[in-house]
Structure 1
Amino acid sequence: MTNLLSQRLKADTNKYHVSLDQLPVLRGLMHEQPEPRAYEQVIQCFYHCFRAWQGVFAQAEREYSIPAFAKIELHLTALEAEVAQFNSPFEAACTPPLPQLTTLEDYLGYSYVLSGSHLGARVILKALQRSSLAANYRFDFYLSQSAWPLTVSTWPAWKAELDSLNDAGEIHPRVVIAAAIRCFKDLTHWFQHASSRSSVIHYI
């Protein structure tokens, strides 16, 4: 069994990560011809979720000494610019579940998930740019994520900094892992239920 926190995070969150990625509404982004309304629904879901989460993360950043490498970037400016172009109404069937951040470790768990999502954004962006949606959408959110310094080559350094905190005994690893799992669960719940009143295309 590995002692590296980053490896434990990957192993212990894997099934929750897969569950999120396999949601039909998100999997549809990788379809050869995604439906415009389905794409807009995904972006609107991210926007309303992250807008609700922004204040929670900002409060945690005031209360705890968040390491610079772990600061969460939600790309709300890009999301706002993109949502402003949409004509589809958004009526969520629920409100986003708010992160419960009572420790530095809680923040780090959410940071692991949200920071790591920058890597997947590059794959999604390439698929979208090859699709028919490229004629009408700029993909502001995925462009902003893809431009972030976190890449396949810099992600190991991010994980190494987290591992260093753990190795120095400055954090409780189980709390970080539990928070990362909660983050995946929160996002999965939100995307499953927020669109239940909308005519999102579900790909098979």
Structure 2
Amino acid sequence: MTMQKGTNLRTRLKSDTVSAHNRVDAVMSGYDLTMACGLARFLQIHQTALQQTMPMLRQSGHDFEPLPALIEADLAALGHKPVSAPPLPGGQLDGDPLGYAYVVAGSHMGSKILNKRRLRSSDANVLRAGRYLIREDAGLTWRSLMAQLEGLEAKGEAQDLVVAGALTCFRCFENAALTEGNA
């Protein structure tokens, strides 16, 4: 990795996690969010990853507590039950909680685009299942986190741990997608 002088932690995170982000996006883009089964799988993947990463998200200083309940309500609207997360591969979470917050808050910013796809559905249950994708305070969380990351230098041991946290969080989503996708 080559960093320019003056690079902050936000820029480094984007650069250092682009491959992991692209892998998760590639897996997740296969779900048709206009169909109840596709939206349910998408939500179950998020539910699994959030169950696994919530201990770190709670330590991040940002509020992700409402997310599981939003997913459960959307799954209920689709006629699906919540899932239980399998044990973490490797058994523990690595890195700093800010890395996890970066991934989950960023995911919610991308949800605005995904919600537009969901709204093309002709299925009334799919149209009722939008709580998770339209979380009202997602933009506030993202802006607050970005300000925090922009105020931090890119290099250092603490910053390495933030990047490690983000990469671990992306792995949790990818593993959940591969597991749920085969269910």
TM-score normalised by length of structure 2: 0.78
Residue 159 in structure 1 maps to residue 146 in structure 2: yes
User: Any gaps of 5 or more consecutive residues in structure 1?
Assistant: 198-204
* Of 39-48 and 118-127, the range deviating more from structure 2: 39-48
Structure 2 unmatched ranges of 5 or more: none
Alpha-carbon distance in structure 1 between the residues aligned to 2:163 and 2:171: 12
Q: Given the alignment of the two structures, is residue 131 of structure 1 paired with residue 136 of structure 2, yes or no?
A: no
State percent identity of aligned pairs: 24
Q: How does 1:28-107 map to 2 (within 5 A)?
A: 28-29=30-31, 31=32, 34-54=34-54, 56-57=55-56, 61=59, 66-67=60-61, 70-73=62-65, 75-88=67-80, 95=86, 97=88, 100=93, 106-107=96-97
The C-alpha deviation readout for 1:165-186, integer Å capped at 9, x for no partner, is: x24x997111111111111111
Structure 2 letter corresponding to 1:57: M
Corresponding residue to 1:150 among 125, 130, 139: 139
Is the contact between residue 34 and residue 121 of structure 2 (CA under 8 Å) also seen in structure 1?
A: yes
In the alignment, structure 1 residue 22 sits paired with structure 2 residue 26: yes
Q: Please give the secondary structure, in 2, of the residue aligned with 1:132.
A: coil
- Aligned counterparts of 1:181 and 1:158: Cα–Cα separation in 2: 17
Question: SS of the residue aligned with 1:28?
Answer: coil
Q: TM-score, normalised by structure 1?
A: 0.71
Does 2:159 match 1:188? no
1:34-74 CA distance string (max 9 Å, x none): 432122122122223323443x237x63xxxx54xx44455
Q: Distance in 2 between matches of 1:195 and 1:16?
A: 18
Query: Kindly tell me: are residues 156 and 90 of structure 1, through their superposed partners in 2, closer, same or farther at Cα, counting changes over 3 Å?
Result: closer
Equivalent residues of 2:35, 2:121 under 8 A apart: no
User: Greater Rg, structure 1 or structure 2?
Assistant: 1
* 1:12 is aligned to 2:11: no
RMSD: 3.1
Query: Aligned partners of 1:128, 1:96: CA distance in 2, in Å?
Result: 30
